[in-house]
């Protein structure tokens, strides 16, 4: 019951901050224990939609909004000629269902294509190394 109350307060707070124009950003939560950078963002996406943001607004929190925050909106944050971008190719449209972000075909990083199968192999290798 306490956990559910905490979740509801968090949702209301996120929505209120967004409605007030606070400029929300997604974060990796990298210094947190048990959070693997990148995965925490995937968990945040549906939480933001549950808080009342649209999938589009939620995706902006990890793309355009950080560029604006850093004053670098002419360098990255949107897909335009002359701008830097790493890209995620998805199997389905995340604007229809934010959980479609979990269905990756692959990622383009610094001009190199990584298919999902290669990403999974790397993740499996890390998991095996950590398991000992």
- Give the pair of three-digit tokens for residue 51: 């808080």
100 and 65 part of one domain: no
Give me the phi and psi of 74, to 5 degrees please. -90, 0
The conformation of residue 21, written as its DSSP 8-state character, comes to: T
62 and 97 part of one domain: no
2 and 67 part of one domain: yes
2 and 59 part of one domain: yes
Domain encompassing residue 25: 1-79
* Cα–Cα dist 131/110, whole Å: 30
12 and 71 part of one domain: yes
Residue range 1-30: mean pLDDT, rounded = 90
Q: Quick: pLDDT tens for 87-122.
A: 999 999 999 999 999 999 999 999 999 999 999 999
45 and 3 part of one domain: yes
What is the pLDDT, as a whole number, of residue 27?
A: 82
What is the pLDDT, as a whole number, of residue 67?
A: 96
- Give the pair of three-digit tokens for residue 2: 């306490």
DSSP string across the chain = -HHHHHHHHHHHHHHHHHHTT--------TTSTT--TTHHHHHHHHHHHHTT--HHHHHHTTTHHHHHHTT-TTTSSS--TT----EEEESS-TTT-GGGGG-EEEEEETTEEEEHHHHHHHHHHHHHHHH-
* Cα–Cα dist 19/16, whole Å: 5
9 and 30 part of one domain: yes
57 and 111 part of one domain: no
Residue 107 CA neighbour count, 13 Å, CB half: 13
Domain count, the chain: 2
pLDDT band at 30 (very low <50, low <70, confident <90, very high): low
What is the pLDDT, as a whole number, of residue 125?
A: 94
Q: Quick: pLDDT tens for 7-16.
A: 999 999 999 9
Residue range 46-73: mean pLDDT, rounded = 95
In whole numbers, what is the pLDDT of the chain averaged over residues?
A: 92
8 and 49 part of one domain: yes
Residue carrying the six token digits 């949107």 = 78
């Amino acid at each position: 019951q306490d956990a559910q109350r905490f979740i509801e307060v968090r949702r209301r707070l996120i929505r209120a901050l967004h409605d007030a124009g606070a400029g929300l950003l997604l974060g990796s939560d990298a210094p947190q224990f048990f959070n693997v950078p990148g995965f925490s963002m995937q968990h945040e996406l549906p939480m933001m939609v549950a808080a009342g943001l649209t999938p589009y607004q939620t995706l902006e929190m990890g793309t355009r909004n950080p560029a604006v925050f850093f004053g670098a909106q002419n360098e990255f944050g949107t897909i335009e000629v002359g701008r830097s971008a790493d890209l995620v190719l998805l199997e389905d449209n995340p604007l229809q269902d934010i959980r479609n972000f979990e269905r990756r075909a692959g990622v383009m990083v610094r001009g190199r294509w990584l298919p999902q199968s290669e990403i999974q192999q790397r993740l499996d290798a890390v998991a095996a190394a950590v398991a000992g």
